[in-house]
């Protein structure tokens, strides 16, 4: 595997198709072709040359664009399959058995296979991650393998190219010109006017513009890799917080996932659009659809533990009042708190009468705050009610005692002691919704009068230190992709070959239409031989016909 | 006249203008024998002027509707699809000015017309925004995505011109079959427009109750005669036809009925056209594409992918992620619409790699561009109507 | 010679890059927990809570002594079951330098007092009104008990109810030497 020495004297690396300096075709394939393959300037891509060890074989595998496109296709197909049925995280189920049952019940046999093949959790499956990893590997290796030789050969290119190189360009023309020197200097002037960088070398011109667009793909690939790296970092604890919590109206609670911060819910608002606001514009839609929600809003107060105090000490300082609505999260110290969900109408207070059973006369009423009940309620005139037992989520009697299955006041029950001037020792009564139990017949009873409810706000807490990395990756990708797509690397070679013989050739990596237009402009001001676009035979035919008309 | 009415009138004006402009581009091709001559054809210039007038009226529709509702009209299927049609015309104008090829207009404008007609089949009332959409990103994200997608769609149209021109319609081949399939699909969309409009004019409605997939009772209204019934359906409107078949709860029989109607009417339409023309529809259009320069169409197709891809990336992925983070607390959630935007992006990335590194030019590239358009339309139509996710605002 | 060198460098650099990439993929597949959960061997984070009488307790007050930190709720049957066991022995262990601290996870204060009086409990019951300490210790199931040794390290996390015998053994395990 030795270097190839070109006739011009330049030593090219093994595998080079076109001499890096003069452009002479070196490989047999290049020598036989009519139009030379200009991708990567015919430079030696390392992947295609060394095939000795297993490491080199793996390297070459990932360096191949064919493999890269195949991986893209695989990711594409896998992603598409993942959208056929809802993914796991959109399914209301808890256990694996529930999931299996869900897919089979709704989607039959196909659903069963979908579940069993793991497609129901496609994007978290190990093989989807492997595919993404292979894609990243392919991007890195394929870029390294191409950018280095491309850079070298663009740097080494010489102004005067060998005629065999010129002849194999897609745009090429040759012919005798009366005054070649004048043509060349006029062409040089015009090319400079067209903002080309022009280099001359005894009777040869190389005009080049927008070479930087060649680096676009490598820059956008770098952006993608940074993006992937950002996603990877989210797996490290501390970089990424994603929690949810329910916060009742009036409740103050430590923020899950944000140590040191406490949030108070001062009220949850759900508002619908009304016809009065804009009957003319929205009336028709409101008639058709019914209610359309205008706002979900939680009014909150944010507190922070004071500097130097310990968690739990309740030594808080107020930071701010804020109204969290959809699209406007509460932001503090890298955290975002989002309005995500709500539940309406949970019991919050219950009001009771203390009543004489026989006369049905009320001795007064008292209100129990279900999240913060009191030990005793004084009704005045020597009457009072003591709280002996409180069961927020009453679920029957267990082991001879009332039992609450959760701390949430879904079905509150109480044991009250009623003290009245008649019965100063008090009577006991068990009171639940639509149920009153007495140990022995009482004279008095606690009767339910009314209840109030409150709403619960579902909040999501996020902190994502990788967002800026992701954004940086996105920006670099955009720069690269714009640079590579909106500019084209154009080159025009003009050279005096012998006395009066002039050769013209041109190349661009895309947008040949514009290149031809520019070359036409050069030909307007300098006498140059006519050229042909050898991949567009229709053009010449049509031009001739057009001229005849 | 209030703003909403002005707005719909302007949309109608633009619709008519596009129809007329199509005729002029046709004239431009008829009148000139070569590419070079028709580059500077008067007919073409008049066509362009009328297209621009139509486009301005279309922009007028957009901004008057914006003024009326107070939000960018990009919040439901009607508004989104109309904007897509508008930007398609905008992208065409841009490329026409660059390349001056009437044959592109002759294919681009009818497709824009079909898209706008399709859009008007959806509810057109101005709807107030639900909380998730109340954001400046609604405009930024959606308009960028629409612009990107419409530039990418131009590449499909250039590809279509290339294929119609270059496929040998006299011999039986895979290519001939598939290009005819593309034509047939376009006619099916017309079939949908025809059926929907006919039944709308007739004021057809049939209400049913049924049991949904969560075993809960529900109601549904058909706007076409119910060929298929929902799970355990019961008719509430008297004198409606009895559905042929009752379907399981996961299939929306109402949508399937509309689809079957559209396919049936579209197929009849197609057969009629075939009978009149006595040759494949693609062959009918072939003379109109004949004068286009293949290399130039290839170039336009490639360049519109190059121009559209970065815009699409910015709108459909980057802006989408930023907004998703603001509204839903995560920048990416594998919602079907998101996934299909990613699929579109991956597809065009593969397109560019195949073209750059593996030399897929000409016919192969044209086919890829057409497939890309199919994916975009799938994301626009099928994902909203079939695979419901967070984006199902239609 | 130079050529041989170049070849070796190439082989090494390619191998290293491929190995790094492979390691990253394996890491991406295997990493699951994004939240750091307190585990055995970690230092127990300090906190300050008041008991039902209003006396403040800091974990750091008990430095050099063992702490049996029990999180509980009134509606949880196993929590209720182990309360009397603790009541029986807490005084004995207090003199041996091991303290039982129970933390109620933010229920209404009256509810906790009724519970205490019902069972006749006399050890200090801390009240985590805002659920701050509960979040700090990542409490999911109840009861959860942390054994904290005199050095302030967590030696064991128990996520279920215990018998009296088990409680005694656990208390002995964190007794200062």
Q: State percent of chain A over pLDDT 90.
A: 38
Close Cβ partners of B63 (under 8 Å, ≥ 6 residues apart): none
Q: Which residues of chain C does A257 touch, with a Cβ-Cβ cutoff of 8 Å? A: 35, 135
Please give the pLDDT value at position B36: 58
Cβ of residue A325 closer than 8 Å to a chain B Cβ: yes
Q: Which residues of chain C does A11 touch, with a Cβ-Cβ cutoff of 8 Å? A: none
3-class state of residue A494 by DSSP: strand
**Tens of pLDDT along A417-433?**
999 888 888 888 899 88
Taking phi first (over 0 means left), then psi (-120 to 50 degrees means alpha), and beta for anything else, what does residue B324 get? alpha
Best of B334, B361, B376 to mutate (most A CBs within 10 Å, chain A): B334
Residue A276 in tokens: 């009065």
* Residue A544 pLDDT grade (very low, low, confident, very high; cuts 50, 70, 90): very low
CB contact under 8 A, A390 and C111: yes
Cβ of residue A389 closer than 8 Å to a chain C Cβ: yes
Name residue A325's beta-bridge partners.
A297, A328
CB contact under 8 A, C46 and A310: yes
Q: State yes or no: cis peptide before C143, omega within 30 of 0.
A: yes
Whether residues B44 and B158 share a domain: the answer is yes
Instruction: Give Cα separations from A93 to A88, A89, A101, B248 (angstroms).
Output: 8, 9, 9, 22
- How would you label A31-53 residue by residue, b for 16+ Cβ within 10 Å and e otherwise? eeeeebbbbbbbbbbbbeebeee
Name residue B218's beta-bridge partners.
B210
Residue with tokens 């016919």: B363
CB contact under 8 A, A388 and C109: no
Helices A126-156 and A54-63: angle between axes, nearest 10 degrees:
90
Name residue A495's beta-bridge partners.
A204, A503
Q: Are A55 and C14 in contact (CB under 8 A)?
A: yes
CB contact under 8 A, A373 and C33: no
CB contact under 8 A, A477 and B313: yes
Q: Which of C21, C75, C106 sits opposite A404 (nearest CB)?
A: C75
Nearest CA of chain B to the CA of A106: how many Å? 7
Residue with tokens 């509960």: C134
Residues B338 and B333: their CA atoms lie apart, in Å, by: 8
Q: Which residues of chain A does C46 touch, with a Cβ-Cβ cutoff of 8 Å? A: 310-311
- A 23-52 → B contacts, CB under 8 A: 39
Per-residue pLDDT of chain B (394 residues; tens, 9 = 90+): 588 889 999 999 999 999 999 998 888 887 766 555 556 678 888 999 999 999 999 999 999 999 988 899 998 889 999 999 999 999 999 988 888 888 888 899 999 999 999 898 888 888 888 888 889 999 999 999 999 999 999 999 999 999 999 998 888 899 999 999 999 999 998 898 888 889 888 888 888 888 877 778 888 888 888 888 888 888 887 777 788 888 877 777 888 888 889 899 999 999 999 999 888 889 888 888 888 888 889 989 999 999 999 999 999 999 999 999 988 888 888 888 899 999 999 999 999 999 887 778 888 999 999 999 999 998 887 776 666 544 544 3
Q: What's the mean pLDDT in A249-263?
A: 91
CB contact under 8 A, A312 and C11: no
* Residue A548 pLDDT grade (very low, low, confident, very high; cuts 50, 70, 90): very low
Instruction: Judge whether B284 lies within some domain.
Output: no
Q: Are B301 and B162 in contact (CB under 8 A)?
A: yes
SS3 letters for B150-206?
HHHHHHHHHHHHHHHHHCCCCCCCHHHHHHHHHHHHHHHHHHHHHHHHHHHHCCCCE
Instruction: Give Cα separations from B67 to A311, B71, B134, B298 (angstroms).
Output: 52, 7, 15, 41
Task: Enumerate the H helices of B32-135 as residue ranges.
Answer: 35-39, 42-69, 77-99, 102-119
Whether residues B375 and B308 share a domain: the answer is yes
Please give the pLDDT value at position A67: 93
Domain residues for the domain of B215 are: 183-278
Q: Are B123 and B49 in contact (CB under 8 A)?
A: no
Q: Are A364 and A383 in contact (CB under 8 A)?
A: yes
Best of B346, B353, B389, B394 to mutate (most A CBs within 10 Å, chain A): B346
Q: What share of chain B is helix, strand, coil (3-state, %, to 5)?
A: 70, 5, 25
Taking Cα atoms as reference points, which of B84, B265, B109 lies closest to residue B189?
A: B265
Q: Which residues of chain A does B347 touch, with a Cβ-Cβ cutoff of 8 Å? A: 76
Q: Which residues of chain B does A546 touch, with a Cβ-Cβ cutoff of 8 Å? A: 34-37
Instruction: Judge whether B286 lies within some domain.
Output: no
* Residue C33 pLDDT grade (very low, low, confident, very high; cuts 50, 70, 90): low
- A 262-301 → C contacts, CB under 8 A: 262
Name residue B222's beta-bridge partners.
B206
Residue C29 in tokens: 């597949």
**Tens of pLDDT along C127-167?**
998 999 999 998 888 899 999 999 999 999 999 899 999 99
Q: Are C125 and C100 in contact (CB under 8 A)?
A: no
Please state whether at least 3 CB pairs lie below 8 Å between chains A and C.
yes
Last residue of a domain, one of B278, B304, B338: B278
Whether residues B112 and B252 share a domain: the answer is no
Residues C70 and C87: their CA atoms lie apart, in Å, by: 13
Cβ of residue A83 closer than 8 Å to a chain B Cβ: yes
CB contact under 8 A, C75 and A129: no
Residue A337 in tokens: 């708190």
**Tens of pLDDT along A497-522?**
877 888 999 999 888 888 998 999 99
Q: Which chains would you list as touching A if contact means 3+ CB atom pairs under 8 Å?
A: B, C
- C 64-103 → A contacts, CB under 8 A: 73-75, 77
Name residue A9's beta-bridge partners.
none
Cβ of residue A467 closer than 8 Å to a chain B Cβ: yes
- Please count the CA atoms within 13 angstroms of the CA of B26 that sit on its side-chain side: 11
Please give the pLDDT value at position B394: 38
- CATH code given to domain A159-199+489-548: 3.30.70
Q: Is the interface score ipTM higher than 0.85?
A: yes
Q: Is the pLDDT assigned to residue A12 strictly greater than 90?
A: no
Whether residues B302 and B340 share a domain: the answer is yes
Residues B46 and A452: their CA atoms lie apart, in Å, by: 71
Domain spans in chain A, listed from the N-terminal domain onward:
45-155, 159-199+489-548, 211-235+466-487, 240-344+458-465, 348-453
Please give the pLDDT value at position A414: 92
Q: Which of B34, B307, B339 sits opposite A82 (nearest CB)?
A: B339
Residue C11 in tokens: 């082989």
Whether residues B190 and B62 share a domain: the answer is no
Q: State percent of chain A over pLDDT 70.
A: 95
Q: Which residues of chain A does C36 touch, with a Cβ-Cβ cutoff of 8 Å? A: 237-238
The residue length of chain C stands at: 177
CB contact under 8 A, B135 and A327: yes
Residue A87 in tokens: 């993914």
Whether residues B21 and B159 share a domain: the answer is yes
Whether residues B212 and B162 share a domain: the answer is no
For chain B, what is the domain count?
2
- Could you tell me which chain A residue has the CA closest to the CA of C25? A133
* Residue A259 pLDDT grade (very low, low, confident, very high; cuts 50, 70, 90): confident
Q: What's the mean pLDDT in C74-103?
A: 90
- Could you tell me which chain B residue has the CA closest to the CA of A70? B350
Q: Is the pLDDT assigned to residue A1 strictly greater than 80?
A: no
Cβ of residue A470 closer than 8 Å to a chain B Cβ: yes
Q: Which of A133, A234, A314 sits opposite C129 (nearest CB)?
A: A314
Close Cβ partners of A267 (under 8 Å, ≥ 6 residues apart): A249, A298, A299
Q: Which residues of chain A does B68 touch, with a Cβ-Cβ cutoff of 8 Å? A: 281
Taking phi first (over 0 means left), then psi (-120 to 50 degrees means alpha), and beta for anything else, what does residue A452 get? beta
Whether residues B146 and B28 share a domain: the answer is yes
- A 293-322 → B contacts, CB under 8 A: 293-296
- C 13-42 → A contacts, CB under 8 A: 14-15, 17-18, 21, 24-25, 27-29, 31, 33-36
The distance of Cα B391 from the centroid of its chain, to the nearest Å, equals 18
CB contact under 8 A, A538 and B295: yes
- Could you tell me which chain A residue has the CA closest to the CA of B351? A69
- How would you label B22-60 residue by residue, b for 16+ Cβ within 10 Å and e otherwise? bebbbbbbeebebbbbbbebebbebbbebbbbbbebbeb
pTM, two decimal places = 0.88
Taking Cα atoms as reference points, which of B93, B4, B111, B7 lies closest to residue B44?
A: B93
* Residue C63 pLDDT grade (very low, low, confident, very high; cuts 50, 70, 90): confident
Residues A331 and A297: their CA atoms lie apart, in Å, by: 15
Residues C14 and A141: their CA atoms lie apart, in Å, by: 9
Residue A61 in tokens: 């595998």
Q: Which residues of chain A does B100 touch, with a Cβ-Cβ cutoff of 8 Å? A: none
Residues C58 and C50: their CA atoms lie apart, in Å, by: 9
Name residue B326's beta-bridge partners.
none
Most confident range (mean pLDDT) of A36-40, A300-304, B93-97, B336-340 is A300-304
Nearest CA of chain C to the CA of A158: how many Å? 27
Query: What does DSSP assign to residue A47?
Result: G
CB contact under 8 A, A288 and B383: no
Q: Which residues of chain A does B328 touch, with a Cβ-Cβ cutoff of 8 Å? A: 338, 340
Residue B134 in tokens: 């109340």
The distance of Cα B25 from the centroid of its chain, to the nearest Å, equals 21
CB contact under 8 A, A259 and C28: no
Q: Are C49 and C130 in contact (CB under 8 A)?
A: no
Q: Which of A485, A545, A549 sits opposite B307 (nearest CB)?
A: A485
Please state whether at least 3 CB pairs lie below 8 Å between chains B and C.
no
């Amino acid at each position: 595997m030795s270097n190839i020495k070109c006739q011009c004297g330049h030593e090219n690396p093994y595998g080079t198709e076109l001499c890096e300096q003069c452009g002479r075709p070196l490989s047999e394939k290049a020598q036989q072709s009519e139009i030379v393959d200009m991708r990567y300037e015919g430079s030696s891509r390392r992947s295609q040359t060394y095939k000795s060890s297993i490491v080199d074989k793996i390297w070459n595998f990932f360096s191949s664009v064919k493999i890269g496109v195949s991986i893209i296709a695989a990711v594409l197909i896998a992603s598409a399959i993942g959208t056929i049925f809802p993914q796991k995280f959109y399914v209301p189920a808890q256990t694996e058995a529930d999931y299996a049952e869900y897919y089979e019940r709704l989607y039959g046999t196909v659903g069963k296979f979908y579940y069993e093949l793991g497609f129901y959790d496609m994007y978290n499956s190990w093989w989807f991650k492997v595919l993404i990893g292979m894609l990243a590997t392919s991007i890195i290796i394929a870029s390294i393998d191409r950018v280095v030789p491309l850079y070298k050969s663009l740097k080494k290119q010489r102004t005067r190219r060998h005629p065999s190189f010129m002849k194999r360009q897609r745009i090429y023309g040759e012919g005798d010109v009366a005054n070649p020197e004048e043509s060349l200097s006029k062409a040089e002037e015009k090319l400079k006017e067209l903002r080309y960088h022009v280099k001359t070398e005894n009777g040869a011109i190389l005009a080049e513009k927008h070479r930087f667009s060649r680096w676009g793909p490598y820059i956008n690939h770098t952006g993608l890799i940074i993006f992937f790296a950002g996603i990877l970092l989210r797996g490290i604890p501390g970089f990424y917080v994603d929690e949810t919590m329910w916060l009742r109206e009036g409740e103050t609670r430590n923020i899950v996932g944000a140590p040191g911060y406490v949030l108070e819910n001062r009220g949850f608002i759900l508002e619908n659009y009304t016809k009065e606001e804009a009957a003319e514009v929205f009336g028709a839609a409101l008639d058709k659809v019914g209610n359309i929600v205008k706002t979900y809003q939680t009014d909150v107060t944010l507190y922070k533990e004071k500097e130097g105090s310990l968690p739990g000490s309740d030594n808080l300082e107020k930071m701010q009042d804020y109204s969290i609505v959809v699209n406007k999260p509460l932001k503090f110290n890298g955290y975002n708190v989002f309005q995500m969900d709500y539940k309406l109408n949970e019991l919050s207070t219950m009001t009771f009468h203390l009543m004489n059973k026989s006369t049905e006369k009320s001795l007064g009423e008292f209100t129990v705050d279900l999240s913060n009940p009191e030990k005793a309620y004084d009704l005045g005139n020597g009457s009072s009610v003591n709280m002996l037992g409180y069961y927020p989520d009453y679920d029957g009697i267990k082991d001879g005692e009332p039992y609450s299955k959760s701390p949430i006041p879904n079905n509150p029950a109480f044991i009250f002691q009623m003290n009245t001037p008649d019965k100063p020792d008090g009577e006991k009564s068990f009171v639940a919704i639509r149920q009153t139990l007495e140990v022995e017949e009482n004279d008095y009873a606690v009767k339910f009068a009314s209840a109030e409810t409150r709403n619960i706000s579902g909040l999501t807490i996020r902190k994502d230190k990788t967002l800026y990395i992701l954004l940086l990756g996105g920006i670099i990708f955009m720069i690269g992709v714009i640079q590579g797509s909106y500019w084209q690397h154009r080159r025009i070679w003009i050279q005096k070959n012998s006395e009066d013989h002039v050769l013209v050739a041109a190349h661009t990596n895309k947008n040949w239409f514009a290149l031809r237009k520019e070359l036409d402009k050069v030909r307007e001001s300098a006498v140059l031989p006519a050229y042909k676009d050898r991949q567009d035979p229709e053009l010449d035919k049509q031009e001739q016909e057009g001229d005849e008309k | 006249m209030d703003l909403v009415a002005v707005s719909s009138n302007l949309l109608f004006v633009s619709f008519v203008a596009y129809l007329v402009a199509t005729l002029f581009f046709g004239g431009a091709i008829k009148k000139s024998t070569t590419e070079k001559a028709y580059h500077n054809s008067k007919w073409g210039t008049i066509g362009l002027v009328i297209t621009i007038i139509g486009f301005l009226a279309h922009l007028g529709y957009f901004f008057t509707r914006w003024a009326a509702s107070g939000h960018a009209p990009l919040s439901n299927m009607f508004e989104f699809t109309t904007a897509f049609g508008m930007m398609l015309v905008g992208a065409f104008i841009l490329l026409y000015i660059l390349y001056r090829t009437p044959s592109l207009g002759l294919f681009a404008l009818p497709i824009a017309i079909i898209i706008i007609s399709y859009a008007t089949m959806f509810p057109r009332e101005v709807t107030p925004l639900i909380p998730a959409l109340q954001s400046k990103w609604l405009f930024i994200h959606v308009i960028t995505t629409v612009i990107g997608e419409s530039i990418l769609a131009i590449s499909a149209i250039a590809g279509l011109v290339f294929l119609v021109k270059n496929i040998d319609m006299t011999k039986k081949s895979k290519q001939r079959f598939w290009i005819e399939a593309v034509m047939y699909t376009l006619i099916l969309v017309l079939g949908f427009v025809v059926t929907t409009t006919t039944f709308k004019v007739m004021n057809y409605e049939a209400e049913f109750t049924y049991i949904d997939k969560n075993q809960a009772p529900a109601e549904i209204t058909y706007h076409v005669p119910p060929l298929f019934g929902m799970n355990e359906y019961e008719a509430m409107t008297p004198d409606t036809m009895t559905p042929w078949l009752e379907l399981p709860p996961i299939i929306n029989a109402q949508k399937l009925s509309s689809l079957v109607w559209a396919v049936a009417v579209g197929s009849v339409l197609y057969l009629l056209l075939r009978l009149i023309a006595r040759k494949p529809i693609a062959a009918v259009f072939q003379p109109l594409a004949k004068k286009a320069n293949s290399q130039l169409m290839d170039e336009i197709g490639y360049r519109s992918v190059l121009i559209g891809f970065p815009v699409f990336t910015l709108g459909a992925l980057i802006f989408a992620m930023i907004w998703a983070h603001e509204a839903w607390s995560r920048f990416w959630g594998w919602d079907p619409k998101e996934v299909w935007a990613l699929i579109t992006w991956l597809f065009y990335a593969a397109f560019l790699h195949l073209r750059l590194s593996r030399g897929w030019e000409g016919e192969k590239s044209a086919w890829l561009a057409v497939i890309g358009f199919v994916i975009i339309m799938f994301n626009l139509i099928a994902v909203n109507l079939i695979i419901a996710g967070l984006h199902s605002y239609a | 010679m130079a050529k041989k060198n170049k070849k070796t460098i190439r082989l090494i650099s390619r191998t290293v890059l491929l190995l790094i990439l492979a390691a990253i993929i394996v890491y991406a597949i295997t990493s699951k927990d994004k939240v750091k959960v307190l585990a055995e061997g970690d230092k127990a984070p300090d906190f300050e809570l008041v008991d039902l009488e209003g006396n403040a307790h800091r974990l750091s007050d008990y430095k050099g002594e063992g702490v049996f930190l029990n999180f509980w709720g009134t509606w949880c049957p196993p929590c209720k079951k182990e309360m009397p066991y603790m009541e029986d022995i807490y005084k004995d262990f207090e003199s041996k330098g091991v303290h039982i601290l129970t933390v109620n996870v933010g229920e209404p204060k009256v509810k906790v007092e009724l519970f205490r009086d019902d069972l006749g409990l006399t050890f200090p019951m801390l009240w985590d009104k805002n659920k701050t300490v509960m979040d700090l210790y990542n409490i999911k199931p109840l009861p959860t008990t942390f054994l904290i040794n005199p050095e302030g390290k967590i030696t064991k996390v128990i996520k279920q109810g215990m018998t009296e015998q088990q409680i005694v053994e656990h208390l002995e395990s964190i007794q200062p030497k």
